[in-house]
């Protein structure tokens, strides 16, 4: 039982450290979007097509890339930050040799019936 309690304390300590890390990064006058988690109705809605990449879209992309860095994520869709635009950003972090990839108006050409939810 003691090992489980230690595991819980370690988990809570890691969560607290991650919260502090996010707080420090978010308080550096850099924009940050709150992450939207499933289940949420935004994931059932269709995102808007982007006609022109203007400063507003560039700001959204820059902020999403900031989120990607803060969350230490591999990919992020605009709907995951509460924005119904057809934007996705991906950074595979392969030995710091790759740079982020930004998708504007991506089309899904194939999908299976199988679904997965990561929480």
Same domain, 109 and 52: yes
- Mean pLDDT, the chain, rounded, equals 77
Same domain, 5 and 59: no
- Whether this prediction's pTM lies above 0.75 is answered by no
Length of the chain in terms of residues written:
119
pLDDT at 100 over 60: yes
Same domain, 97 and 110: yes
Residue, of 26 and 108, whose pLDDT is higher? 108
| Residue 113, domain extent | 31-119
Same domain, 45 and 56: yes
pLDDT at 22 over 60: no
pLDDT at 93 over 80: no
86, 106, 115 from 102: Cα distances, Å = 11, 10, 24
- Give residue 86's pLDDT: 95
List of long-range contacts for 24-29, beta carbons under 8 Å, 24+ apart: 25/69, 25/70, 26/70
Question: Where residue 63 sits, what CATH number does that domain have?
Answer: 3.90.45.10
- What are the pLDDT digits (tens) for 29-87? 566 788 888 888 999 999 999 999 999 999 999 999 989 888 888 899 999 999 999 99
Same domain, 67 and 102: yes
């Amino acid at each position: 039982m003691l090992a489980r309690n230690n595991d819980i304390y370690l988990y809570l300590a890691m969560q607290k450290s991650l919260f502090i890390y996010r707080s420090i990064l978010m308080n550096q006058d850099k924009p940050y979007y709150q992450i939207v988690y499933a289940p949420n109705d935004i994931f059932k809605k269709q995102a808007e097509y982007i006609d022109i990449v203007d400063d507003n879209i560039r700001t959204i992309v820059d902020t999403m890339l900031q989120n990607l860095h803060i969350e230490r994520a591999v990919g992020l869709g605009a709907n995951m930050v509460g924005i119904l635009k057809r934007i996705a950003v991906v950074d595979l972090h392969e030995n710091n040799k790759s740079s982020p990839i930004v998708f504007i108006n991506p089309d899904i050409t194939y999908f299976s019936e199988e679904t997965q939810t990561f929480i």
